[in-house]
């Protein structure tokens, strides 16, 4: 259904980072787009994101990088500490996985900042709130999304960017059964003034709050990095547990529950954890990759397509790549059906490989001693704006 104007029309379900990135990329390529979000208010959960060079290339291409940089962190070093005495395990320059070799920077940012900047690029009226999608299907050359209030919306294609419990994915491929991995995580933030500066035996290890810091111990790890231009430290606390935990970004927890899980860990760490703001917990689930992401004129992107473990910090990065790739494939094909098929063929193998590597890295992390981290260069070198990989043998000027 190319509009009378001759413009292709895409209906995006879900206004998370993936849905908004797709909508911005589509609009920038002259494709008409409307986004339907179930929430009554546009927003993002309070938590941080690591943005590897592949994600930053998309943010740069969409035009929000200049505005994001003052709000971001750019860690120079990974500092790894022991859980009990906060002694130094190792320091490693982050330059090994960032910068010239991969074609862009490695940033850390608040999810709400990335989300807000993307939303700000959309034309007025493009986002429709309070719209709970219950399914989508192809009728001839038209895709139709159905909503809980009985209404329907048509487009040349419908794309489900509706997250881990995607209604669109369910309509295309049926319900699947996620597997609880036996891990859970807390997410919270702390004012930078509450971060301990000198730790370790005799106060011998200096913490620079601009860097990426991890305490590693039995049954868990606590990963921290700066967001909001260095005002806040984002905390991701992973913990092994047999108890079932809801697969949700927003299951409320408490400081007391967090402190109980890390009882016996270094006092400087616990003092910092005692000062966190709102605290949410999240069960880590695992799913196998999908071999195809579309049926007819309906497809999926982001967590709806490739829910993955957070071990590589690539879920949102892949969602950003998906949005950029979808817009490019549709614009280049000039035909909605062909463009969606090309997108599916380009994206499913790459994101599926990242899903499996995230799973393998999670298993490796549990080995004692852990083997060296798996290669992430092939992930970071990709530029989804063009569909090209930066060749590993090409020297690029420092950024």
Indicate the residue among 187 and 297 with the shorter CB distance to ligand FAD: 187
Considering the complex, what minimum distance in angstroms separates the CB of residue 118 from ligand FAD?
A: 10
What is the C-alpha to C-alpha distance for residues 136 and 268, in angstroms, rounded to an integer?
Answer: 51
Among 236, 262, 265, 380, binds ligand FAD (CB under 6 A): 236
Indicate the residue among 48 and 196 with the shorter CB distance to ligand FAD: 48
Binding mask 341-360 for ligand FAD (x = CB under 6 A): --------------------
Phi, psi (rounded to 5 degrees) for 128: -110, 120
Q: Positive or negative CA dihedral for 123, 128, 133, 137?
A: negative
Task: Say which of 106, 225, 262, 285 is annotated catalytic.
Answer: 225
Tell me the number of residues near ligand FAD by CB under 6 A: 34
Phi, psi (rounded to 5 degrees) for 224: -135, 145
Indicate the residue among 157 and 205 with the shorter CB distance to ligand FAD: 157
- The 3-class secondary structure across 41-89, one letter per residue, is CCCCCCCEEEECHHHHHHHHHHCCHHHHHHHCECCCEEEEEECCCCCEE
327 belongs to the binding site for ligand FAD (CB under 6 A): no
319 belongs to the binding site for ligand FAD (CB under 6 A): yes
| 212 is known as an active-site residue | no
Phi, psi (rounded to 5 degrees) for 285: -115, 165
| Interacting residues with ligand FAD between 255 and 284 (CB under 6 A) | 282
118 belongs to the binding site for ligand FAD (CB under 6 A): no
39 belongs to the binding site for ligand FAD (CB under 6 A): yes
- The 3-class secondary structure across 86-141, one letter per residue, is CCEEEEEEHHHHCEHHHCECCEEEEHHHHHHHHHCCCCCCCEECCCCEEEEEEECC
What is the C-alpha to C-alpha distance for residues 287 and 108, in angstroms, rounded to an integer?
Answer: 26
Reported as type and span, the H/E element at residue 170 is helix 167-173
314 belongs to the binding site for ligand FAD (CB under 6 A): yes
Considering the complex, what minimum distance in angstroms separates the CB of residue 158 from ligand FAD?
A: 11
Residues with active-site annotation: 225
Q: Which residues bind ligand FAD (CB under 6 A)?
A: 13-19, 36-39, 49-50, 55, 131-133, 161-163, 167, 185, 187, 236, 282, 302-303, 310, 313-317, 319
């Amino acid at each position: 259904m190319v509009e009378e104007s001759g413009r292709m029309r895409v209906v995006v379900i879900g206004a998370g980072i993936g849905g908004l990135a797709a909508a911005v990329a589509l609009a920038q390529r002259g494709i008409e787009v409307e986004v339907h979000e179930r929430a009554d208010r546009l927003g993002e959960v309070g938590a941080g994101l690591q943005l590897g060079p592949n994600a930053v290339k998309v943010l740069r291409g969409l035009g929000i990088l200049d505005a994001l940089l003052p709000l971001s962190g750019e860690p120079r070093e990974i500092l790894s500490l022991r859980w009990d005495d906060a002694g130094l395990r190792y320091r490693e320059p982050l330059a090994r996985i960032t910068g010239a070799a991969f074609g862009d920077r490695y940033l850390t940012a608040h999810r709400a900042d990335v989300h807000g900047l993307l939303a700000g690029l959309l034309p007025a009226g493009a986002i429709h709130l309070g719209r709970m999608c219950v399914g989508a299907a192809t009728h001839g050359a038209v895709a139709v999304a159905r909503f809980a209030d009985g209404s329907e919306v048509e487009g040349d294609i419908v794309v489900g960017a509706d997250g881990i419990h995607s209604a669109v994915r369910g309509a295309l491929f049926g319900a699947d059964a996620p597997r609880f991995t036996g891990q859970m995580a807390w997410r919270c933030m702390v004012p930078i003034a509450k971060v301990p500066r000198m730790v370790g035996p005799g106060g011998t290890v200096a913490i620079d709050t601009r860097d990426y810091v991890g305490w590693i111990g039995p049954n868990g790890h606590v990963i921290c990095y700066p967001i909001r231009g260095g005002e806040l430290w984002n905390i991701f606390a992973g913990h092994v547990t047999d108890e079932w935990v809801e697969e949700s970004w927003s299951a409320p927890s408490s400081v007391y529950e967090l402190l109980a899980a890390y009882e016996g860990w270094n006092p400087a760490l616990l003092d910092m954890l005692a000062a966190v703001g709102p605290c949410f917990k999240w069960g880590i689930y695992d799913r196998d990759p999908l071999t195809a992401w579309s049926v007819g004129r309906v497809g999926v992107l982001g967590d709806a397509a490739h829910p993955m473990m957070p071990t590589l910090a690539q879920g949102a990065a892949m969602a950003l790549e998906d949005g950029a790739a979808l817009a490019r494939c549709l614009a280049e094909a000039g035909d909605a059906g062909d463009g969606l098929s090309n997108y599916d063929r380009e994206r499913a193998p790459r994101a599926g490989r990242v899903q499996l590597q995230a799973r393998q890295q999670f298993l490796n992390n549990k080995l004692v001693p852990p083997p060296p981290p798996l290669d992430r260069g092939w992930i970071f070198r990709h530029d989804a704006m063009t569909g090209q990989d930066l060749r590993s043998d090409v020297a690029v000027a420092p950024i």
